[in-house]
Structure 1
Amino acid sequence: MPSLHEPKLISGNANLKLSSAVAKRMSIHRGTPVKLVSARVERFNDQEIFVEIHENVRGEDMFIIQSTSRPANDNLMELLIIADTLRRSSAGRITAVIPYFGYARQDRRSKARTPISAKLVANMVAQSGIERVLTMDLHAAQIQGFFDMPVDNLYASPIFALDVKHHFRDCMDEVMVISPDVGGVARARELAKRIDAPLAIVDKRREKAGEVAEMTVIGDVTGKRCIIVDDICDTAGTLVKAAEVLIDKGAAEVHAYITHGVMSGPAVERISNSVMKTLVLSDTIAPTPEVLAAPNIRIVPTAPIFAQAILNIWGGTSVSSLFDHETLEPLYETAYS
């Protein structure tokens, strides 16, 4: 049943630009101004986080926009403290919009005596008063089951499909989608299906965490414009090595589409010096000045899909409808017209 109250947005400090863009898009969709709730989210001298909301939120349908990206712990605590502030201020419903869900790579025990931190974070989110989560491209789909609440997991593949069809419109028959590992085949297959392209796999074997010992290409990439698709780019070591292997196997050129640009340490330098022609990132994580200055890195917006998803949640309508090309394309028509 649609809410009697207007949807209200509040933002942490992780990605204020995205939050403002979501508010702007919601204003366009609704034809009435939507602004971020006036609040103070700051730190004391000892780095304790303090939140003060300057508007009445009693009974309101509240949406907190906050990625738990670097610094992950600070941004996670901001999210939890904002939620607690809203709960104690009698907000009607609290939804956490987490474009990038940190700790998602710790979704299982990889070896003895290790944590399942994604489950711990899910418990903390629930205890803070949050009643629903909206996110994008969870690293592991089973994380949705860690929450005893509704979790809407949006996908970047429909956005990437629109971008690929626009930028490769004159050579779509030469495009091949590449999964950078066996575990990412489902994600790569989804994009390949949307753009009607063949699929190949780079099979990697690790000697230890963070180091790839060997890569093998499964499939013929000769003369193809290869598009590597993945959910996270951290230090970019694996991505750059995969691009080199593809070129060695006869690929004409290599591009990459990554949902979450963590871009730690030497990532930007590696990408800038790599054989990849372009790396396309979404803005679920606020790009650093170095990322924005890199000549072969491009950013695609997620505000249109998040804005519509928030409106659908508020209005009690389908979020999964945004997975369809026909539904999503009008939201991005200005970007690809």
Structure 2
Amino acid sequence: MRLNKLRHAKSKKDFPLFHLKCSLKMAKLKWKSGWPNLRKNLINVKPSKVKRSSANCANNMDRHNHVVFSLSKTHDLVSRICQKLKMPMGLITHNEFADGETYIRFEESVRNKDVFIFQSTCAPVNDSLMELLIAIDALKRGSAKSITAILPYYGYARQDRKTMGREPITSKLVADLLTTAGVSRVALTDIHSDQTQGFFNIPVDTLQTYHVFLTRTVELLGKKDLVVVSPDYGGVKRARLIATSLELPLAIIDKRRPAHNVAESINVLGEVANKNCLIVDDMIDTGGTVIAAAKLLREHHAKKVCVMATHGLFNGEAPQRFQKAFNEGLVDYLFVSNSIPQTKFDQCPQFQVIDLAPLFEEVLLCYANNSSISAIYTRHIEWIKKHV
């Protein structure tokens, strides 16, 4: 049985100091000086002049009543959050038995405390999900007052309906597993479809990240001649929300998908000639959809093409496809968040990782103070309209 203890600093000066053995199968991050490689591309785009309303969120959390934990897929993200909150991350002992079984023990009391636990159920999806379920069970048996599971990325979100006979609705199954494990509340980030909220019988918060991305994208492209583009009809609602927020025009890619993981873009609905196009999607898997969309926009004489997606999965040959798209001038910039650890692009200026730590910091403060989360988005959009 291999023991991996996460050690955290006791002062801000040497925060964060933790060690995760890379031999652990579920955490294949490359560590250097305590930080993953993604740090050099990480962009903190929180507008410094956006002030919290005192009526909305206080500036700190009560350490005696609240505790924040991270599992294997969100260590870097949560360490940044805790650094901003000026509170230590909770200690966890994580063991892996010889046969691959996972063992988790929380090294501090959670009795009668409000617990916030972070985990992205990304690859390996089943291991990440099982790790979260085991952790929730341990917290419940440790007499936690409440357990809020915050999933920056929610695996199985695309299996949200039956398209053929004898298919499962796995997204609903995962919701049932989390509820049965004992979670009190779930927070999901830019979920694939809104109906996922209805799969839970407990409170669900669906967090949005578009305002964090827009601060950076509008800064680079400007609002003049900027067009928001949906790569397919399924993403129209998301793209329209962004376009409406900043009073921008909207374009839609008319796409047909002949097979799984294969996309063919055939037409553009909207004016994109001599425009800066911002393709918006919730996730990038193999990259076929957005690269085909970018190629079509170039054929329609778009001036610039940028891609913005919350969750960068980059499976298969996706990194090579995007590198080729960068070299050929199809895509000017690719923006994703650190909802999933990003290690597949190294020293690539066109690839930029947007830090979600400021958003989650504000969300945690809203939870701790029973304040409105939606007010966060309103403040940021108003700031972007005035200053960017």
Does the pair score TM above 0.5?
yes
1:263 aligns with 2:322: no
SS of equivalent to 1:78? helix
For 1:308 and 1:328, the matched residues in 2 are separated by 17
Q: Could you say what secondary structure the match of 2:224 adopts?
A: helix
SS of 1:294's partner is coil
Q: CA deviation at 1:315?
A: 1.6
Unpaired segments of 5 or more residues in structure 1? Answer: 28-33, 331-335
Partner of residue 278 from structure 1, selected from 317, 328, 333 = 333
Q: Match of 2:160?
A: 107
Look up the match of 1:30: none
TM-superposed deviation, 1:293: 3.3
Contact 1:321 1:327 in 2 (8 A): no
Using the alignment, how far apart are the partners of 1:263 and 1:212 within structure 2? 15
User: What secondary structure is seen at the aligned counterpart in 1 of 2:345?
Assistant: helix
Task: Report 1:142-221 matches (<5 A).
Answer: 142-169=195-222, 172-221=223-272
* 5+ residue gaps, structure 2: 1-57
Q: Give yes or no for contact 2:118–2:150 (8 Å, CA) kept in 1.
A: yes
Q: Deviations over 1:199-252 (max 9, x none)?
A: 100011111111224421111210011100000100101111110011001111
- Alignment match of 1:26 (pick from 63, 85, 109): 85
Alpha-carbon spacing, 1:96–1:269, altered in 2? closer, same or farther (3 Å): same
Matching residue of 1:79: 132
Give the distance between the partners of 2:338 and 2:148, measured in 1 at CA.
Answer: 20
Could you state the TM-score of these two structures normalised by the residue count of structure 2?
0.80
Say if 1:94 and 1:329 are closer, same or farther in 2 by CA, change over 3 A: farther
Equivalent residues of 1:98, 1:133 under 8 A apart: yes
Q: CA deviation at 1:292?
A: 4.1
Q: Aligned in 2, Cα 1:188/1:168: closer, same or farther, shift over 3 Å?
A: same
Q: Are residues 327 and 202 of structure 1, via their aligned partners in 2, closer, same or farther at CA, if it must alter by over 3 Å?
A: closer
- Secondary structure of 2:111 counterpart: coil
Amino acid in structure 2 at the alignment position of 1:175: L
Distance 2:176 2:192 in 1: 18
Q: Indicate how the Cα distance of structure 1 residues 293 and 38 shifts in structure 2: closer, same or farther if over 3 A, else same.
A: same
1:154–1:323: 8 Å Cα contact kept in structure 2? no
Q: Contact 2:211/2:381 (CA < 8 Å) preserved in 1?
A: no
Aligned equivalents of 2:305, 2:219: Cα separation in 1: 17
Shift of 1:165: 2.6
Cα shift readout 1:122-162 (whole Å, capped 9, x = no counterpart) = 00000111000112101001101110111111111111222
> What residue identity is the alignment partner of 1:156?
T
Greater RCO structure (CA 8 Å; 6+ sep)? 2
CA contact (8 A) 1:165 1:195 kept: no
- Local SS of the residue matching 1:36: coil
Structure 1 residue aligned with 2:66: 7
By how many angstroms is 1:47 displaced?
Answer: 1.1
Amino acid at match of 2:96: R
* Cα gap change, 1:329 to 1:283, in 2 (>3 Å): farther
* Bigger fraction of residues in helix: 1
